[in-house]
């Protein structure tokens, strides 16, 4: 949940470092800092607050250097202050370290180092590593990589570490454990970063690093070893998206751009998924027909928005494939004695592929014998690499912390899984599957229709800007949509928001309703259980107590009692989340803008939560 960059090569390092940090600011923005490698001494500058504060501090006093490391922080240990900003240095000021993650045994480390005479400047766990490396480098005759290999053996926790020393400023050493680190291969220059967005302007050649692998980069090349020093062959891959995809493209915020990218994201995720024999193509699953038929249950593991996509999966997969689906918050699942075995298919949903809670939960599931399918939006990230199979969504890079297009494509992905399982298990005919798939192919155009009403939607939202709380009601597959709408409003508008199952209202939450309370109700699409009538009753119940009601309703649906009706195109009931979610994203976006919040980097949050 911090952004890390390293550069060594023919350029002046300050530019790729600062530009790289700008691309990674979404990973954390409590403070930022750099260390530049000049012969004999390091140039260190770091500031609390956003990258702009660091840039202002740098001014014209920056020495020319051809190597360096940079860091943008999401604070874990030690408040977001100048003193706690990374890099952290040893007492000679010649070795600098930056870190993403948590060193769980730093307290003991710190005590040992203090007893050996080291002086500490900060409250962070990271600084312990700087002093430890300084000692070990001396005992390894100045070999920083050897020092790193030995240091890691005494560290517990999750971390990506980069280190640089003034005596060999061209050399940067990195290591990762449960936290992302990727190498960028340039011509006469090389890069290290938390993700490829940091260096994609310079090279599209990347190398993935595995667990406990130590990488050394110089301007001439790279070397990867395991903790015993054995050399490992670099696993190179080409980055598939370009840097313009990671820019705002004329929108005020990445989030609005990504809301508008949803039609393409959904279309790209559906591309090629039905063959000419009307069969769903999901070769990634790597399960034989017998294994699919023997599946006893599915367990979905995820966090936040991805968890809401998992909830949609439950409704769709149980209806289509007739397999029990349990949806678990990853952070809870890991500490429960859950009942899973080799006839359980675990689906780990993650946009970033680096969420620690989800990663640890899938490891727990694998230990119990389950097969794990990742649904992920980030190529070669840790969760897909540790899964048995991966279904990549094709949303493109999602930079805004609040997830939008990734959510819709995660829902599309679980729909595809549900239809595939139903087909292989013979529960749905090819014609039924084809018809539903064709309905899904219509969704991008329907999302476009909704996006044509963005301006009236934004104006409507401004009328609720003074609200202190908003409630969201949904039923059946609209219940996860209500939860997602509430989460978006919380994380963007810093406003109390809560999603409820409509049927639960009378069991307590209705006590929250008072004069003027905004309630957004997702009206179920004509449902065999008459859920739309039940939701209309819920609307009357809250209206009778003074609520101001906004209803998300399908074109043509009868709605009584609403102050505003937001129309969405007609679609089959189970596909409603793809359409009903979009107005809620816009509502939350506009509320954040109206309140003057930082839309793309909301307070206290980070795009990828790589600590438990």
**Residue 408 Cα distances to 178, 380, 579, angstroms:** 27, 21, 9
Task: Provide the sign of the torsion angle of the four alpha carbons 310, 315, 318, 319, taken in this order.
Answer: negative
Name residues whose C-beta falls within 8 Å of residue 508's C-beta, 6 or more positions apart in sequence.
none
Task: Name the token pair of 73.
Answer: 């922080």
d(CA 28, CA 75): 8
The Cα diameter of the chain in Å comes to 79
For the CB of residue 303, give the shortest distance to ligand AGP in the complex, in Å. 4
For the CB of residue 408, give the shortest distance to ligand AGP in the complex, in Å. 12
For the CB of residue 109, give the shortest distance to ligand AGP in the complex, in Å. 29
For the CB of residue 403, give the shortest distance to ligand AGP in the complex, in Å. 4
Report the length, in residues, of the chain: 612
Q: Within its chain, how far is the Cα of 94 from the centroid?
A: 35
Residue nearest to ligand AGP (CB): 304
d(CA 445, CA 274): 19
DSSP 409-451: HHHHHHHHHHHHHHHHTTSS-HHHHHHHHHHHHTHHHHHHHHH
Which of residues 34 and 605 has its CB atom nearest to ligand AGP in the complex? 605
Cβ atoms of residues 407 and 580 within 8 Å: no
d(CA 118, CA 131): 7
The SS3 assignment for 165 reads strand
d(CA 283, CA 498): 39
Cβ atoms of residues 485 and 587 within 8 Å: yes
For the CB of residue 609, give the shortest distance to ligand AGP in the complex, in Å. 5
Q: Which residues in 176-213 are b (16+ Cβ under 10 Å) and which e?
A: bbbbbbbbbbbeebbbbbbbbbbbbebbbbbbbbeeeb
For the CB of residue 261, give the shortest distance to ligand AGP in the complex, in Å. 15
For the CB of residue 257, give the shortest distance to ligand AGP in the complex, in Å. 15
Asked, as a colleague might, if the bond just before 87 is cis with ω within 30 of 0, I would say yes
For the CB of residue 412, give the shortest distance to ligand AGP in the complex, in Å. 15
Catalytic, 153? Answer no
Q: Which residue in the list 46, 314, 446, 607 is annotated as catalytic? A: 607
Q: Which residue in the list 2, 257, 434, 488 is annotated as catalytic? A: 2
Task: Name the token pair of 328.
Answer: 């678990």
Which of residues 295 and 303 has its CB atom nearest to ligand AGP in the complex? 303
Cβ atoms of residues 6 and 217 within 8 Å: yes
Residues making contact with ligand AGP (CB under 6 A) = 303-306, 350-352, 355, 358, 401-403, 491, 608-609
Catalytic, 607? Answer yes
Cβ atoms of residues 88 and 126 within 8 Å: yes
Residues annotated catalytic, as ranges: 2, 607
């Amino acid at each position: 949940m911090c952004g890390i960059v390293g550069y060594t090569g023919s350029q002046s390092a300050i530019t790729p470092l600062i530009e790289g940090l700008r691309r990674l600011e979404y990973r954390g923005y409590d403070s930022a800092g750099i260390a530049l490698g000049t012969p004999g001494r390091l140039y260190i500058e770091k500031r609390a607050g956003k990258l702009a504060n660091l840039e202002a501090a740098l001014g014209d006093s920056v020495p020319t250097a051809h190597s360096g490391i940079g860091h943008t922080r999401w604070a874990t240990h030690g408040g977001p202050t100048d003193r706690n900003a990374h890099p952290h240095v040893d007492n000679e000021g010649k070795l600098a370290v930056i870190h993403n993650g948590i060193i769980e045994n730093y307290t003991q480390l710190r005590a040992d180092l203090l007893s050996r005479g080291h002086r500490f400047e900060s409250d962070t766990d990271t600084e312990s590593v700087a002093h430890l490396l300084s000692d070990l480098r001396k005992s390894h005759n100045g070999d920083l990589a050897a020092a790193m290999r030995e240091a890691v053996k005494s560290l517990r926790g999750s971390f990506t570490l980069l280190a640089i020393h003034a005596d060999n400023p061209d050399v940067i050493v990195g290591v990762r454990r449960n936290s992302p680190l990727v190498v960028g291969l340039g011509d006469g220059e090389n890069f290290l970063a938390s993700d490829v967005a940091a260096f994609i302007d310079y090279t599209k050649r990347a190398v993935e690093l595995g667990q406990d692998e130590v990488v050394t980069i110089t301007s001439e090349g790279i070397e990867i070893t395991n903790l015993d020093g054995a050399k490992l062959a670099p696993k190179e891959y080409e980055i598939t998206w370009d840097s313009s995809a990671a820019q705002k493209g004329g929108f005020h915020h990445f989030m609005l751009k990504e809301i508008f990218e949803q039609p393409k994201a959904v279309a790209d995720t559906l591309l090629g998924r039905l063959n000419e024999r009307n069969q769903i193509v999901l070769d990634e699953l790597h399960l034989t027909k017998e294994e699919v038929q023997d599946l006893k249950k599915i367990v979905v593991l995820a966090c936040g928005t991805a968890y809401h996509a998992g909830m949609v999966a439950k409704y769709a997969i149980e209806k289509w494939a007739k397999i029990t689906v349990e949806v678990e918050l990853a952070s809870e699942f890991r500490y429960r004695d859950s009942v899973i075995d080799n006839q359980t298919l675990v689906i780990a949903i993650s946009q970033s592929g680096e969420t620690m809670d989800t990663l640890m939960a899938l490891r727990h599931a694998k230990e119990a014998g389950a097969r794990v399918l990742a649904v992920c939006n980030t190529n070669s990230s840790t969760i897909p690499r540790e899964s048995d199979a991966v279904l990549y969504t094709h949303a493109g890079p999602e930079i805004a912390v609040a997830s939008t297009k990734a959510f819709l494509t995660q829902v599309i992905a679980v729909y595809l899984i549900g239809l595939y399982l139903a087909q292989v298990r013979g529960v749905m005919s090819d014609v039924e599957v084809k018809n539903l798939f064709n309905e899904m192919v219509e969704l991008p155009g329907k999302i476009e229709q909704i996006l044509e009403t963005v301006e009236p939607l934004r104006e409507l939202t401004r009328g609720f800007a003074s609200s202190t709380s908003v409630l969201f009601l949904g039923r059946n597959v609209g219940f996860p949509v209500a939860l997602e709408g509430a989460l978006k409003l919380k994380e963007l508008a810093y406003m109390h928001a809560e999603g409820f199952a409509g049927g639960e209202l009378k069991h307590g939450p209705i006590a929250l309703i008072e004069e003027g309370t905004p309630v957004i109700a997702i009206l179920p699409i004509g449902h065999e259980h008459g859920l739309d009538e039940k939701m209309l009753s819920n609307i009357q119940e809250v209206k009778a107590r003074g609520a101001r009601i906004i209803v998300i309703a399908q074109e043509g649906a009868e709605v009584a009692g609403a102050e505003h009706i937001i129309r969405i195109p007609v679609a089959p009931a189970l596909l409603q989340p793809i359409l009903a979610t979009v107005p809620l994203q816009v509502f939350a976006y506009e509320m954040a803008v109206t309140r003057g919040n930082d839309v793309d980097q909301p307070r206290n949050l980070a795009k990828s939560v790589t600590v438990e």
